[in-house]
Structure 1
């Protein structure tokens, strides 16, 4: 039970991945659900726009949205890693309740945030102090163990891509793709599995999110669907083939999750697919 609107929770905080293009001006269903999922009355929200090429414009949208939804928003306008390495930034990160990573370019975000004391603080507070972390579009992809490079096509005919670069790793063994149905990215997510053995692929439609609650419950909110893919095993790798030859990924499973789904475990309800159980296994952070 929360005894104060600033009461810290022990253990892992909420993790939220959003497929991009979420409503920020109307009913704001996804963002409203995100705010409701936090245990304090007026959450302090740090909006990090490092992925964006137009950070000031994005900040104006999110400042209005989070303020309307009862939050206390702050802007962290970091465009290079050195901008994060200040006492003021570290103090702010130590005090907020939610870190929100905007869309843009996930590689710009990783170049700015990855391997910094600021991210070490975010990761520690998320794991131990209940800090919530959310990302949308590129920000969502960056939260996975591996992430799209951004230059992959959507068609499978070109053969498997090269190895995917590491993400921030807050969701272990998961590759997050976004704008999923809108940009017809099913085939490329299958490719990602082939070069990321042992991972689970998560495809998020726009205005749709997956929340992983601190009690290990999974929830889907928004207006679209979530696609979960698993295939092969830890030893599976796709090999690029020549013209007229074949490459394959065996035993691919596909699951569609719709808004309103809530899944609690472990122990898992009877019949819960193995792919969803793997998706929710946070025991290995590699």
Structure 2
């Protein structure tokens, strides 16, 4: 009998992890398994009261802003010889002189970031007989350098007590008093998706991952409070590039050096001082390792990835050799089985691209703007750092806004095409089209701000492979390169017959056997505007100019629109036009007291060529 029991125990321990999930009783795929948001959600919080219906939403105990002190030891830390390169000595000395001048004025007073930057930029002092402008010094720092300085000056925001008994003030969110109803809707939709996985007998369990952030502690309070208020049981899952780096060193004591890993991987400093409780939690999580992380994921009904830098999230969930970490493997298994739903916003959406589709590897976009994309093409290289043009730290011969991507892809949870975000608002149509061309990828999905793309996987044999529905405020720009033709390369590239669609609220797509079909919402109708305006934009990729021009093309009888993006005599000329297969539908949707006008289109063709 003992031998039988021992054998049974061995068999049970050998079973795959996913078969032991707490959600195993849920055998039906949820209606939608992913919610991919384009960023820019305008949510009322104690640090962003401009998004609140009233100014008096939060108590005095809530964190309103970050705080800073100019102490002598803080300036000494900024003067670290290990951070500044030799060719940045002048900038370093001038910046320290400005800060030391402010220190004498403030007498170590605690001030907000807004006040610190106002005083900094307004200062003018004499250094070695030369007048130095604080505004010029500030403008001359790269993003990496400025973050380093601010991190060294930041101190915790305390809400009560003193000394060791003081408690850290936390950021709070309030969905009920958020102005933008679309932002509220998207957050609530995610919680409802999690509830479908959890069933109706308990609250859904949501894990929040803040790995995309340069400072992975900064958004923890916001998201855990936000989803708790929306009706979920919420925990922070402290995955990060720093955590993964600590484990891949092979040193059992490496978790005690998380501050060093945060500096090396994230460019984040002094977080122990600012978030001591969260750092303690992160160290404990690190010491528990992947077994502890996988155990947390197994209990979850949903997992949310924040915005920031998708390359950081990739490092958090893939090992140095590119293989999936145990945490990512667990998410993959549960997502495939319908035991968890996944959401992301901004970088948390972009990182989902990857895997293989139709025999082709799906890349992950990491950087760049449309103008540089069309001039120089796409590079399978690490993204340049923000502001690297200022301190000459750009590597691989790239400039700050060159188009880069990861050819092996991101997390691979969405394999059907490249995902891009903040899309229409930042004129990213050109960069998505160029990346698809250069990587020989077929589909690209550009998601606007405050907008979500719902992804539903096959639930039975008769369903399409994947169903996509647009939710939220704006739309999703879809590129299909199946019939595109090209000649030339670099800035001389000519691209013709690029098929594009723009689907808005309520529109649906189905992808099956490599064929994409779309269906407009039933409350949208064929436009009846008989006007035929001449449509043109002299700066087609600035702000949302492309969207505005294509909206007029969609809603009128105009047959084509033209645009240019030219700098110093070089650039690209673009034509958007209708052919026999083009269709458009428009309609209005009332969200509370506001009416939003939409125009969706299918099969608008795009040609791009060098501008003469």
TM-score, with normalisation over the residues of structure 1? 0.82
Deviates more, 1:37-46 or 1:112-121: 37-46
**Correspondence for 1:224:** 474
Deviates more, 1:32-41 or 1:218-227: 32-41
Residues 97 and 131 in structure 1, CA contact (< 8 A), matched pair in contact too? yes
Judged with a 3 Å threshold, the aligned counterparts in structure 2 of structure 1 residues 237 and 92 are, in CA distance, closer, same or farther, namely farther
CA–CA separation in structure 1 for the residues paired with 2:479 and 2:327: 32
**Correspondence for 1:203:** 446
Flag structure 1 segments of 5+ consecutive residues without an equivalent.
277-286
Residues 94 and 121 in structure 1, CA contact (< 8 A), matched pair in contact too? yes
Residue 16 of structure 1 pairs with residue 262 of structure 2: no
CA–CA separation in structure 1 for the residues paired with 2:226 and 2:518: 39
Aligned-residue offset at 1:269: 11
Within a 5 Å distance, the mapping from 1:144-159 to structure 2 comes to 144-145=353-354, 146-150=363-367, 152-155=368-371, 156-159=373-376
CA–CA separation in structure 1 for the residues paired with 2:346 and 2:377: 23
Deviates more, 1:59-68 or 1:203-212: 59-68
Aligned-residue offset at 1:263: 4.4
Residue 128 of structure 1 pairs with residue 337 of structure 2: yes
Within a 5 Å distance, the mapping from 1:28-177 to structure 2 comes to 28-38=184-194, 39=196, 40-41=199-200, 42-79=203-240, 80-81=243-244, 82=247, 83=286, 85-114=289-318, 115-145=324-354, 146-150=363-367, 152-155=368-371, 156-163=373-380, 164-165=405-406, 166-177=409-420
CA–CA separation in structure 2 for the residues paired with 1:171 and 1:52: 21
Q: Higher helix proportion, which one?
A: 2
Any idea what SS the aligned residue of 2:452 has? strand
Aligned-residue offset at 1:205: 0.8
CA-based RMSD of the aligned residues comes to 2.9
Aligned-residue offset at 1:56: 2.4
Aligned-residue offset at 1:253: 0.8
Aligned-residue offset at 1:227: 0.5
Judged with a 3 Å threshold, the aligned counterparts in structure 2 of structure 1 residues 269 and 58 are, in CA distance, closer, same or farther, namely closer
Aligned-residue offset at 1:96: 0.1
Aligned-residue offset at 1:86: 3.1
Task: Kindly provide the CA deviation profile for residues 16-39 of structure 1, in whole angstroms up to 9, marking residues without a partner as x.
Answer: 211012233324121112222341
CA–CA separation in structure 2 for the residues paired with 1:91 and 1:178: 31
CA–CA separation in structure 2 for the residues paired with 1:263 and 1:225: 13
Judged with a 3 Å threshold, the aligned counterparts in structure 2 of structure 1 residues 96 and 191 are, in CA distance, closer, same or farther, namely same
**Correspondence for 2:499:** 253
Deviates more, 1:56-65 or 1:157-166: 157-166
Residues 33 and 338 in structure 2, CA contact (< 8 A), matched pair in contact too? no
Judged with a 3 Å threshold, the aligned counterparts in structure 2 of structure 1 residues 101 and 197 are, in CA distance, closer, same or farther, namely same
Aligned-residue offset at 1:167: 1.1
Any idea what SS the aligned residue of 1:170 has? coil
Aligned-residue offset at 1:256: 0.7
CA–CA separation in structure 2 for the residues paired with 1:161 and 1:222: 30
CA–CA separation in structure 2 for the residues paired with 1:51 and 1:270: 33
Residues 374 and 430 in structure 2, CA contact (< 8 A), matched pair in contact too? no
**Correspondence for 1:283:** none
Judged with a 3 Å threshold, the aligned counterparts in structure 2 of structure 1 residues 110 and 233 are, in CA distance, closer, same or farther, namely farther
Task: Kindly provide the CA deviation profile for residues 62-87 of structure 1, in whole angstroms up to 9, marking residues without a partner as x.
Answer: 11211111111110122331348332
Aligned-residue offset at 1:222: 1.0
Residues 206 and 235 in structure 2, CA contact (< 8 A), matched pair in contact too? yes
**Correspondence for 2:422:** 179
Aligned-residue offset at 1:258: 0.6
Judged with a 3 Å threshold, the aligned counterparts in structure 2 of structure 1 residues 269 and 195 are, in CA distance, closer, same or farther, namely closer
Judged with a 3 Å threshold, the aligned counterparts in structure 2 of structure 1 residues 57 and 130 are, in CA distance, closer, same or farther, namely same
Task: Kindly provide the CA deviation profile for residues 134-183 of structure 1, in whole angstroms up to 9, marking residues without a partner as x.
Answer: 11110100001221122x22214413212431111111131011011111
